[in-house]
């Protein structure tokens, strides 16, 4: 059973699972011991994203071990053709809190397993040349960072100030468009996330113990996912799945009925 890491966010997470994306880097660092799940909503503000929280949670299949939330950029970045008002920082805080709160109502996960990331910094000089018409107030971005930290502190979640990580080498960490992370930026962000994430212990026998105790290993696996009870799995190891299911049902009230 892999550690399930859900990444949810606006346009800032679009490239998270590309070859160089921070989600892919996480997967590589954990060497196949983590299952990275991406739910991206480019262009969505926190007000819109919080409305989709229940739908996202219901379609996960099982509870994630960590939820990484990165939003806010589309709350404060506007082009000339985008007539939506910029989200007031305090309203952003309320929306973000509501988003997190809705998740905990839908899935059984502790607040400390949430990792809230502040909106990514921008490279204002590059942005000016690459995207005519786009504007963003860096002081507003700072306010969004403070509000994200406030929400994390209120609920007991982990917080990452992305500006503190990326501003030190902005030319290298932000791509040519002035908005999206470069390859180096993705790697630096991923390394910080690695520090905050602990892999949950799998209920299955680890690869280095396979074959050491045959009966015990089968028992451990059967407790997690087999229809055949742990004490009986050895007897059905070499028969078909249908036969295993029939043998299991014969021992239950449903089978007798």
Q: Can you tell me the mean pLDDT for 119-136?
A: 68
Residues 159 and 82 in one domain: yes
Report the domain count for the chain. Answer: 2
Judged against a pLDDT cut of 60, whether residue 197 lies above it is answered with: yes
Clarify whether residues 157 and 182 are in a common domain: yes
Predicted confidence (pLDDT) at residue 152 exceeds the cutoff of 70 = yes
Residue 210's alpha-carbon distances to 32, 67, 154, 216, 227, in angstroms, are 17, 31, 44, 10, 21
Residues 122 and 233 in one domain: no
Asked whether residue 201 is domain-assigned, the answer is no
Question: Does residue 124 sit in the same domain as residue 27?
Answer: yes
What pLDDT score was predicted for residue 55?
86
- Partners of 39 in the β-ladder: 8
CATH, residue 162? 3.40.50.1110
**CA–CA gap between residue 76 and residue 162 (Å, rounded):** 16
Helices (H), the chain: 22-29, 46-58, 73-76, 89-106, 124-130, 138-155, 162-166, 170-173, 183-196, 214-225, 241-249, 253-256
> What was the pLDDT predicted at 205?
60
At residue 117 the predicted structure's pLDDT band, cuts being 50, 70 and 90, is: very high
Half-sphere exposure at residue 254, Cβ-oriented, CA atoms within 13 angstroms: 5
Domain that holds residue 233: 207-256
Average pLDDT, the chain: 81
Structure tokens at 114: 């949430």
Closest residue by Cα to residue 244 from 255, 252, 253, 233: 233
Most confident of 84-88, 110-114, 222-226: 110-114
The pLDDT of residue 10 is above 70:
yes
pLDDT of the residue at 239: 45
How far apart CA 46 and CA 257 sit, in angstroms, is 52
| Residue 129 shares a structural domain with residue 183 | yes
Residue 245, domain member (yes or no): yes
SS3 (DSSP) at 146: helix
More reliable by pLDDT, 223 or 196 = 196
Q: What does the pLDDT read at residue 257?
A: 41
137 DSSP assignment: -
Residues 45-69 have a mean pLDDT of 88
- Assess whether 239 and 167 both reside in one domain: no
pLDDT at 26 over 80: yes
Asked whether residue 96 falls in the same domain as residue 11, the answer is: yes
Domain boundary among 196, 224, 239: 196
pLDDT 10s digits, 205-254: 666 666 777 677 677 667 665 444 444 444 434 444 555 555 555 555 44
Cβ proximity of 3 and 32 under 8 Å: no
The bridge status of strand 114-117 relative to strand 66-70 is parallel
Q: Which two tokens stand for residue 72?
A: 């806010």
More confident residue, 230 or 97: 97
pLDDT at 141: 84
pLDDT at 227: 46
Q: What per-residue confidence (pLDDT) applies to 234?
A: 42
Residue-wise burial string across 191-207, b where 16 or more C-beta atoms lie within 10 A, e elsewhere = ebbeeebeeeeeeebee
Return all residues near 208 (Cβ < 8 A) that are at least 6 apart: none
95 and 190 both lie in a single domain: yes
Task: Report d(CA 75, CA 92) in Å as an integer.
Answer: 8
């Amino acid at each position: 059973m892999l550690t399930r890491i859900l990444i949810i966010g606006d346009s800032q997470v679009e490239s998270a699972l590309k070859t160089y994306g921070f989600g892919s880097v996480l997967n590589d660092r954990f060497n196949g011991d983590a299952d990275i799940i991406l739910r991206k909503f480019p262009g969505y503000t926190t007000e819109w994203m919080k409305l989709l929280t229940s739908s996202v949670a219901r379609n996960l299949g099982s509870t994630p071990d960590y939820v990484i939330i990165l939003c806010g950029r589309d709350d404060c970045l506007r082009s000339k053709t985008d007539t939506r008002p910029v989200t007031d920082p305090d309203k952003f805080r309320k929306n973000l809190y509501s988003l997190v709160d809705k998740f905990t109502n839908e899935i059984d996960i502790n607040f400390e397993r949430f990792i809230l990331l502040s909106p990514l910094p921008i490279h204002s000089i590059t942005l000016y040349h690459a995207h005519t018409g786009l504007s963003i107030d860096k002081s507003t971005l700072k306010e969004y960072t403070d509000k994200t930290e406030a929400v994390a502190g209120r609920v007991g979640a982990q917080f990452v100030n992305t500006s503190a990580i990326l501003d030190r080498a902005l030319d290298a960490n932000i791509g040519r468009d002035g908005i999206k992370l470069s390859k180096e930026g993705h790697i630096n962000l991923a390394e910080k996330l690695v520090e905050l994430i602990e892999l949950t212990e799998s209920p299955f026998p680890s690869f280095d113990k396979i074959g050491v105790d045959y009966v015990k290993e089968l028992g451990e696996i059967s407790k997690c996912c087999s229809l055949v009870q742990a004490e009986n799995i050895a007897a059905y190891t070499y028969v078909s799945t249908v036969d295993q299911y029939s043998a299991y049902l014969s021992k239950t009230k449903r089978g007798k009925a």
